[in-house]
Structure 1
Amino acid sequence: MLKKFTWGHGVALALGLFIIFILSMIFYFTSTWKNSELITDDYYEAELAYQDVIDAKALAGALPEKPEYVQDQSGIRVIFPKDYNNSNTQFTIDLHRAEDQKLDVIKEMDLDSRNSLFIPAAVLAKGNYVLRVLWTRADKKYQLDYDLIW
């Protein structure tokens, strides 16, 4: 015996389909979320000292010759002007990956014979990075930021 399809059945069916739709959207979006972390663990203390970063970027922006980066299959090379050397300057590379803090590369480095800093391709994963080049010369801090895709 077959029952008639009434408006009550239609409301129940529509409500059931709506609940299934909402649940499927929740499962879909939560499964595609990426890992997003704070840049540093002591975020608020770093925020209080952010004026130092602003000053370092302003000093670097005012330089007549700025370091430049070049990337190829072997890695990333940051080339400094000829008047920089290891005896008068300290260098730090901060290669920041927003999606995963484990892929960050933060390292103090020395210039090589080509007057550059080199990050080999072996330590890089495909994706977007922010390359922060920090150096201290004559007790002044400098910083340049480059967005790059590896």
Structure 2
Amino acid sequence: MKINWGTGIVLAFIGFISFILYFIITMSTNDKYDFDLVTEDYYGQELQFQADLNKEKNSQALTENINWKKTNDGIVIVFPEDLDLTKIEGKVFLYRPSNKQFDFEIPISLSNRNLLIPDKRLLGGRWNIKVDWNYNEEAYLYKTEIIY
């Protein structure tokens, strides 16, 4: 059987389209190639962006900002010494960029200036920490990235 140029071009197009369709179907159905968005509520968080900038500006205006340190028990978040602990409230959100299933949130409950994030909850790798807190009805935000 003799194949002319027109038939060859059509077969090449069919082969190329078949390869692309196979690739798309494999990538969208296989869990091995699963991908996550940064956050589920992306647009809602974008609307909060200016409020977050204002909170960070408030945080930078403090005489002493929040610090963190790594210990054998986990990560310790240290709040400023000149603040009354009973008036501090908020939450700590730990975000794992590589897998959203490891993200978690801890409410701020202080008996001293330190808030411990237990070692058993943290896997090795990169973590983004976001401390969203209020003091005397003023909002503050502290963000940092750590490699644990």
Shorter-chain TM-score range: 0.7 to 0.9
- Equivalence for 1:16: 14
Alignment of 1:1-150 (within 5 A): 3-30=1-28, 31=30, 32-36=33-37, 37-39=39-41, 44=44, 51-71=50-70, 74-97=73-96, 101-111=100-110, 113=112, 115-126=113-124, 128-150=126-148
Count of residues in correspondence between the two structures = 144
1:17–1:54 distance in 2 versus 1, CA, 3 Å: same
Counterpart amino acid of 1:133?
A: V
Judged with a 3 Å threshold, the aligned counterparts in structure 2 of structure 1 residues 21 and 134 are, in CA distance, closer, same or farther, namely same
TM-score, with length taken from structure 2:
0.72
Structure 1 or 2: larger helix share?
Answer: 2
Q: CA deviation at 1:60?
A: 0.2
Letter in 2 for 1:75: G
Q: Identity over the aligned pairs, expressed in percent?
A: 26
* Structure 2 unmatched ranges of 5 or more: none
Larger radius of gyration: 1
Structure 1: unaligned runs, 5 residues or longer = none
1:38 is matched by which residue type in structure 2? E
- SS of structure 2 residue aligned to 1:16: helix
Residues 25 and 72 of structure 1: CA distance in aligned 2, closer, same or farther (over 3 Å): farther
CA shift, 1:143, in A, is: 0.9
What is the TM-score of this pair, normalised by structure 1? 0.71
Tell me, in whole angstroms, the C-alpha distance in 2 between the residues paired with 1:82 and 1:10.
Answer: 78
CA RMSD between the two structures: 3.0
